[in-house]
Amino acid sequence: MRAHSGRSGGDRRFTDLHDLDIAASRSGWLLTALCLAYAATALCLQPGRYLYLSESYARPFLLFLPMLLAAGLGVIGLTFARPHPTRFMLDTLKQRWLAAAPVILLFFLGVTAFTTLKITIPDIVPFYADHMLAELDFRLHGTDPWAWAHGIVSGPVSAIIFAYYGYGWLVQWFGILLFVAFWNSPARRLRYLWAFALTTVLCGTVLATALSSAGPIFYDEIHGGDRFAGLQMALARNGFAGSVHVYADYLLAAYESGRPHLGGGISAMPSMHVAIATLNALFLSSFSRRWAIAGWSFAALILFGSVYTGWHYAVDGYLSVLVVSLLWHLTGRFVLPRASRISVEIAPAIPEPVSR
């Protein structure tokens, strides 16, 4: 095929890059339109909540993201540009900030929209699916999955689960998004961003509304009875579950007050924790077997943790894995079809230092 092209390797390389940038720009505009439409929907439905949450999210974004970016660039610089890590960090910021800024801005608008719409779910569709999901969980596993999870993991080991499910997941969520924002591989970068946006919209809003549910940890509070009293007792006896109790009280108080709060909103099905962890596992699998093992091990831990902590039914995570896997397949097939035929060497993952 190359023999009939009539172009040298350097010319073909330049042409492929040029074509890829054009394709990425067209698809990028569609992605931008989707993100803006998502944010506009939340703003139009709940303008007061959206504006309040945007102000609430601005402060942690301005504090947390620069710290995480500096730490990430530092680690990459020390790993791949050890002679000049500081120069590498500065060069990366100089070369990539213009491409990264829109991604970060759209992420901010999208997270604000996601929380706004999540808080609004019970106003549109009251929690109705909990009984169905709890029964499905029981029938699939022969017992309540939370009981099985607590039966095989002791208290001290559970400290790892609570830490990774809370802080570890948050760092991975923001960290990989920042990496992709500064990544100079147009095709694979755009594929991840499309999959990320579709996961947020479909799993976090559309399916969450259609399958409105509160989750095991809120089941008795919202629906009455003592269906999950055993779960509450198991968490109460666990000395490492303090963060779960604090956050559950926070969410329940916000739900009962009807006011918007940072990180607020109750929604169990499907699990966004599992959805994002699965997406990142699929993404990391495209690099090497080592990264695939790390990504899927973390995703499995998050799936187990979603049940262990009581935030989710097991089927919440199963649906997330299925939907995100399908979205990843479709984005790979339709976002930039030609990308699979272009060598990754055309757009290396990280820039080389200017001074060598």
Number of other CB atoms surrounding residue 46 within 10 Å:
19
Closest to 350 measured CA to CA, from 96, 98, 37: 96
Statement: residue 341 has pLDDT above 90: no
Query: What gap in Å lies between CA 258 and CA 48, rounded to an integer?
Result: 12
pLDDT in tens, 81-90: 677 778 877 8
Query: What gap in Å lies between CA 114 and CA 108, rounded to an integer?
Result: 10
Statement: residue 342 has pLDDT above 60: no
Query: What gap in Å lies between CA 321 and CA 133, rounded to an integer?
Result: 16
CB 339 within 8 A of CB 162: no
Residue type for position 103: V
Q: How confident is the model at residue 184 (pLDDT cuts 50, 70, 90)?
A: confident
CB 217 within 8 A of CB 231: yes
The better pLDDT of the pair 122, 88 is held by 122
CB 122 within 8 A of CB 255: yes
Residue 339 DSSP class? G
Closest to 197 measured CA to CA, from 121, 274, 262, 111: 111
Statement: residue 351 has pLDDT above 60: no
The whole-number pLDDT of residue 25 equals: 63
Asked which of 84-88, 134-138, 318-322, 335-339 is least confident by mean pLDDT, the reply is 335-339
Token digits for 343? 């060598």
Burial 73-100 (b: 16+ CB within 10 A, else e): beebbeeebeeebeebbebbeeebeeeb
Query: What gap in Å lies between CA 271 and CA 205, rounded to an integer?
Result: 11
Query: What gap in Å lies between CA 354 and CA 58, rounded to an integer?
Result: 33
Statement: residue 113 has pLDDT above 80: yes
Statement: residue 355 has pLDDT above 60: no
Number of other CB atoms surrounding residue 143 within 10 Å:
11
CB 130 within 8 A of CB 219: yes
Statement: residue 326 has pLDDT above 90: yes
Find the helix or strand (DSSP H, E) in which 187 lies: helix 186-198
Query: What gap in Å lies between CA 335 and CA 356, rounded to an integer?
Result: 36
Mean pLDDT to the nearest integer, 303-308: 97
The better pLDDT of the pair 145, 261 is held by 145
Q: Where are the beta strands (DSSP E) in the chain?
A: none
List Cα–Cα distances, 107 to 42, 99, 187, in angstroms.
Answer: 14, 13, 19
Statement: residue 126 has pLDDT above 60: yes
Q: What is the percent of the chain with per-residue pLDDT over 90, rounded to a whole number?
A: 59
Q: What is the percent of the chain with per-residue pLDDT over 70, rounded to a whole number?
A: 86
Residue with tokens 């949450």: 53
Statement: residue 3 has pLDDT above 50: no
Supply the pTM of this predicted model. 0.87
pLDDT in tens, 233-272: 999 999 898 889 999 999 999 998 888 888 889 999 999 9
Statement: residue 10 has pLDDT above 50: no
